[in-house]
Structure 1
Amino acid sequence: MPDPTQPDPSRPDPAAGAAVPATDAALSAEDNKLVILARSARARVGAVEGAAVRDQDGRTYNGATVSLPSLSVTALQLAVALAVSSGASAIEAAAVVTEASELDGAGHAAVRDLSASAPIHVAAPDATLLGTVSA
């Protein structure tokens, strides 16, 4: 039985960022839609990041970084939370629009809570695909 006081080595460390492997593959139309939704969520409120996820039924959810004195949520955490609160039990794919060079650990872990292998596409603010994290 695993020790609950020790981190699970099979899960991403929420404090550590995930490297974004470069890719030259084109996104499918559905994954490109996630980038567009993430980009619009970020731009709408001038947030650090925007994110979008697609659930097992093809429904999409998007959100932007929230940074309040009493609450901090990454854009990807928020998009996953919205999906779960709407009944999603799995994530098919996700996208994050950011200026960062790596995927934040907390958002990565939130997606992995629902899917061990869903691709997480990371794009620059101009929607240029930087890479895809698949593990």
Structure 2
Amino acid sequence: MSHLDPEDAKLVILARSAMARAEATTGAAVRDTDGRTYAGAPITLAALTLTALQAAISAAVSSGAVDLEAAVLVGGDLDDPGIAALHELSAGAVTIVTDRSGTVLA
């Protein structure tokens, strides 16, 4: 994480914390253009299924965020459907994917 911008490194920490709290294999965090951050873990219910990134984006949007500047997905990959949601909301948002330890993959 040492080569990440300090604000992006904070997102990695938030995402890893969400993953740990939920005892999940992935976690995510996003930052809106006002600097507010939102974290999420996967949700798997009979009536609702979201990836960690979708959950973090949902938390941001439901809190009034209209534009995101960065997203971190820990333990996921570039095929995550949350990335499409991120780009739909904010085409220019930085996307960082890491392994479970926080090492940047993409």
The answer to whether the superposition gives a TM-score over 0.5 is: yes
Question: Aligned to 1:103, which of 54, 78, 85?
Answer: 78
1:118 maps to what in 2?
A: 93
In the TM superposition, structure 1's runs of 4+ consecutive aligned residues that sit over 4 Å from their partners are none
Instruction: Give the number of equivalent residue pairs.
Output: 106
1:5 maps to what in 2?
A: none
- Check if 1:54 corresponds to 2:54: no
Quick one: distance in 2 between partners of 1:66 and 1:115? 23
Which stretches in structure 2 are left out of the alignment for 5+ residues?
A: none
Quick one: distance in 1 between partners of 2:73 and 2:30? 9
The percentage of counterpart residues that share the same residue type is 54
Given that 2:51 and 2:80 are in contact with CA atoms closer than 8 Å, whether structure 1 keeps it comes out as no
1:57-96 equivalences under 5 Å are 57-96=34-73
- Residues 45 and 105 of structure 1, relative CA distance in 2, 3 Å threshold: closer
Q: Which has the higher contact order (CA 8 A, sep 6+)?
A: 1
Quick one: distance in 1 between partners of 2:98 and 2:84? 18
TM-score, normalised by the number of residues in structure 1: 0.73
Quick one: distance in 2 between partners of 1:104 and 1:72? 16
Which stretches in structure 1 are left out of the alignment for 5+ residues?
A: 1-24
Quick one: distance in 1 between partners of 2:55 and 2:80? 14
RMSD, aligned CA: 1.6
